[in-house]
Structure 1
């Protein structure tokens, strides 16, 4: 996710005090794992459930991108 911001992501995860970014990053990863499990039929998720999770994940990704853009111009 966002290879152009790889160094900034690492910095924000390890040195940053942007708790919103850390929370969103963890939530994005959690959703990714949930979606993968549901799509592999391990958890038996419906198409609607999977689509809802994907939309939430996309919304979080948009928020993360906004934070990354702000941080890259602030630094």
Structure 2
């Protein structure tokens, strides 16, 4: 299995500056960004074998990561408008 980076800047490199600005100026975005980062890190630890977890736990984390990414992307797009 290939482990891919899913941090937000790798997911949306074209929005690097906007992500940075939102992290600095929007507390809600910054909180969701931190939660996304923590969730992504937890998924990576499990997938790399550094931490054990059930398949259900891993899937729940992946779903949470996807929901956070969707929310963050919506905020990025709204900021661009």
1:66 paired with 2:70, answer no
Number of aligned positions between the proteins: 71
- Which residue of structure 2 aligns with residue 47 of structure 1? 55
Which stretches in structure 1 are left out of the alignment for 5+ residues? none
Q: Decide whether the 8 Å contact of 1:39 with 1:45 is kept in 2.
A: no
| Deviation at residue 36 of structure 1 after TM alignment | 1.0
SS in 1 for 2:51: coil
RMSD: 1.0
- Which residue of structure 2 aligns with residue 23 of structure 1? 31
Which stretches in structure 2 are left out of the alignment for 5+ residues? 1-10
Greater gyration radius: 1
* Structure 1 stretches of at least 4 aligned residues deviating more than 6 Å after TM superposition: none
Q: TM-score, normalised by structure 1?
A: 0.86
